[in-house]
């Protein structure tokens, strides 16, 4: 059996869902990290002939994460990866937690993503510095050289502009408020009495809006609060001060196990 491989867009919050579940399972894996748009070729190669791949309302049929298991099976969706690697683990996965995960994946994920990208794409210096800090230098160099084309393609693909980013910010607040309403009864976890798919999914998918750091447990990088500055940092502070943000920080602190990825 070969070592399992996770193909990612390294900083993606959907990929973080899969990475977190893999790290909890504790079985070693290799991560093959990419930048957005540059992921198409590696994902295309990894999923050639795979029956599992299909687009959904938030992604193409060539989206990340993709897990190539030790026996060569390809699993092409963060929730399916989570379910696969969590079999027999302590992570609480049942129909109700998966229903919550579905909502976070369909509603929260695209909006934290759009809001973050809008600011990243609007600031060439920040984008260059950020992409350069991630692992894949060849892709970073290409993205920086082709920046205007890259920006246009990303904005078009994800329908990112100042207005849609503003709407996404409101949507993130709305989902945070719904989660806070659940937590208002004093429960420790969103669903059931132990850490599960719903908690992991909410924490990973809200992470970009908190500009969560590697030191706080995120399995990749975002620009730091200082680098991002302005409105994005202000929003991150606002979200961190809310109950929903505190909840995410505590899920990371108490349940984000060390990386099982090998170099």
Separation CA 138–CA 129 (nearest Å): 14
Q: Is 12 in the site for ligand GSH (CB under 6 A)?
A: yes
Q: Is 63 in the site for ligand GSH (CB under 6 A)?
A: yes
Burial 20-51, CB ≥16 within 10 A → b, else e: bbbbbbeeebebbbbbbbbbeebbeebbeebe
Comparing CB distances to ligand GSH, the nearer of 77 and 199 is 77
162-181: contacts with ligand GSH (CB under 6 A): none
Q: Are 195 and 250 in contact (CB under 8 A)?
A: no
- Which region, judged by CB under 6 A, interacts with ligand GSH, from 75-83, 88-96, 116-124, 253-261? 75-83
15-44: contacts with ligand GSH (CB under 6 A): 39
Give the number of other CB atoms < 10 A from CB of residue 155. 17
Comparing CB distances to ligand GSH, the nearer of 64 and 139 is 64
| Phi, psi (degrees; rounded to nearest 5) at 48 | -50, 120
Q: Which of 105, 201, 209, 220: binder of ligand GSH (CB under 6 A)?
A: 105
Q: Backbone dihedral region of 230: left (phi > 0), alpha (psi from -120 to 50 degrees) or beta?
A: left
Comparing CB distances to ligand GSH, the nearer of 180 and 221 is 221
Contact code string over 118-137 relative to ligand GSH, x by CB under 6 A? --------------------
CB of 80 to ligand GSH, least distance (A): 8
Comparing CB distances to ligand GSH, the nearer of 73 and 187 is 73
| Geometric angle at alpha carbon 250, from 249 and 252, rounded to 5° | 65
């Amino acid at each position: 059996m070969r070592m399992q491989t996770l193909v990612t867009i390294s900083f993606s919050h959907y990929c973080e869902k899969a990475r977190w579940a893999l790290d909890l399972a504790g079985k070693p894996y290799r991560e093959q990290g990419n930048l957005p748009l540059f992921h198409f070729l590696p994902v295309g190669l990894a999923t050639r002939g795979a029956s599992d791949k299909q687009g959904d309302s938030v992604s193409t049929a060539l989206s990340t994460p993709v897990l190539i298991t030790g026996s060569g099976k390809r699993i092409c969706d963060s929730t399916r990866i989570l379910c696969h690697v969590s079999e027999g683990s302590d992570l609480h996965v049942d129909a109700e937690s998966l229903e919550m995960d579905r909502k976070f994946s369909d509603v929260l994920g695209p909006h934290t993503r759009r809001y973050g990208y809008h600011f990243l794409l609007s600031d060439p210096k920040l984008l260059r510095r950020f992409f350069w800090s991630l692992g894949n230098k060849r892709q970073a160099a290409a993205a920086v050289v082709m920046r205007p084309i890259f920006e246009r393609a990303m904005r078009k693909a994800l329908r990112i502009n100042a207005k849609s980013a503003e709407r996404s910010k409101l949507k993130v607040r709305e989902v945070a408020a719904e989660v806070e309403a659940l937590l208002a009864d004093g429960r420790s976890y969103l669903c059931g009495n132990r850490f599960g798919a719903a908690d992991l999914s909410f924490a990973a998918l809200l992470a970009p809006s908190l500009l969560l750091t590697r030191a706080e447990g995120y399995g990749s990088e975002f620009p730091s609060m200082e680098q991002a500055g302005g409105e994005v940092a202000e929003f991150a502070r606002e979200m961190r001060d809310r109950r929903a943000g505190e909840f995410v920080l505590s899920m990371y602190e108490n349940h984000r196990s060390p990386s099982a990825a090998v170099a």
